[in-house]
Amino acid sequence: MDATEERRPGLYRRLALQRSSAATDSGALVPLRTAQLQAEWASPFLLRRLLSGTPKHLRGGGPKPNPFLPWERDLQVELLDSGHVLLLNKFPVQVGHLLVITAEWQAQAGWLQPADWQAVGRVAADTGGLWFFNSCPAAGASQPHRHLQLLPRRPGEPSCPLAGRFIAQLDGLADRWPWSYCLSRRRVAARQGPQAQAQAAAELQQLYIEHARLLGLGSPGQTAEPLHPYNLLFDDDWLMTVRREREHCAGFSLNALGFAGYLLATERSDLDWLQHHGPWKLLEAVAAPPDRHP
């Protein structure tokens, strides 16, 4: 356990687990049943098969009602003073999957604002884990109302299957992948207290804007919204932005978690294709190639 984890109370993670139990009993929470597929050819990815019926957010279709206006009170974990709400994900694969949503309407496809990063800073100071953001449907977003997502992790637990690969790249020990992305090391540790939280939020915002510029997404001062779909992934040590071209390939619906090493197969997924080409080709197929930005 590192010093950052020792400083974390972990209150939100405990509240999420407690609320998950009650919300499941009431029917407000609908956990998805999955089974891990033991496939050596998928390593280091974690490949799971969906056993439950395919939820609405993984299906095509017409317009859907906004589930966050109003949000279900049975799923509420905490009201944040940044104008955000900490909610349980209604259809989790992992118990305790959290969402940070704006209490008022903000578009998922718009630029993330300082207040969004302030909300992240507050939650991250209490509970560590893997954060991710899908900018729009082409990047795997299931809802148009702004929401960042957190998969809480226990102290010392890797944030995701590819976390070691990210660190290896940052240390110059691994080659870059053949798609359009930026990966940066984080320098500001998660700590309690308003000043420390503000510093973490400012670092995240700075990296976000820098990555957007480098990937040709534009900037908040110049464009009303990012010019291309993208995913964000980050934990205490790194932040990665991936420019996207499409949401699916070979029957797999891919959001940011695919680039963290998590794959979910549904009845539409072509596992033969995946075994033949491998998970890395799946990611390459949905990300923008590296020559598509300045």
- Tens digit of each residue's pLDDT, the chain (294 residues): 344 445 688 999 999 999 999 999 999 999 999 999 999 999 999 999 999 876 665 555 545 689 999 999 999 999 999 999 999 999 999 999 999 999 999 999 999 999 999 999 999 999 999 999 999 999 999 999 999 999 999 888 999 999 999 999 999 999 999 999 999 999 997 777 888 899 999 999 999 999 999 999 999 989 999 999 999 999 999 999 999 999 999 999 999 999 999 999 999 999 999 999 999 999 999 999 997 554
Cβ–Cβ under 8 Å, residues 159 and 153 = yes
Output the pLDDT for position 257. Answer: 98
153 vs 264: CA distance, rounded Å: 19
Partners of residue 263 on adjacent β-strands: 47
| Short-list 255, 267, 270, CA closest to 89 | 255
120 vs 105: CA distance, rounded Å: 18
SS3 19: helix
| Short-list 237, 260, 18, CA closest to 140 | 260
Output the pLDDT for position 1. Answer: 39
Give the phi and the psi of residue 110 in degrees, each rounded to 5: -85, 175
Partners of residue 152 on adjacent β-strands: 129
Cis? peptide before 70, omega within 30° of 0: yes
| Short-list 54, 77, 56, 80, CA closest to 66 | 56
Query: Residue 14 is which amino acid?
Result: R
Let me know if 175 is exposed, middle or buried by CB neighbors in 10 A (0-12, 13-18, 19+).
exposed
Cβ–Cβ under 8 Å, residues 245 and 229 = yes
123 vs 143: CA distance, rounded Å: 21
According to CATH, the topology of domain 3-29+68-248 is: HIT family, subunit A (3.30.428)
Domain residue extents for the chain:
3-29+68-248
Give the phi and the psi of residue 48 in degrees, each rounded to 5: -125, 150
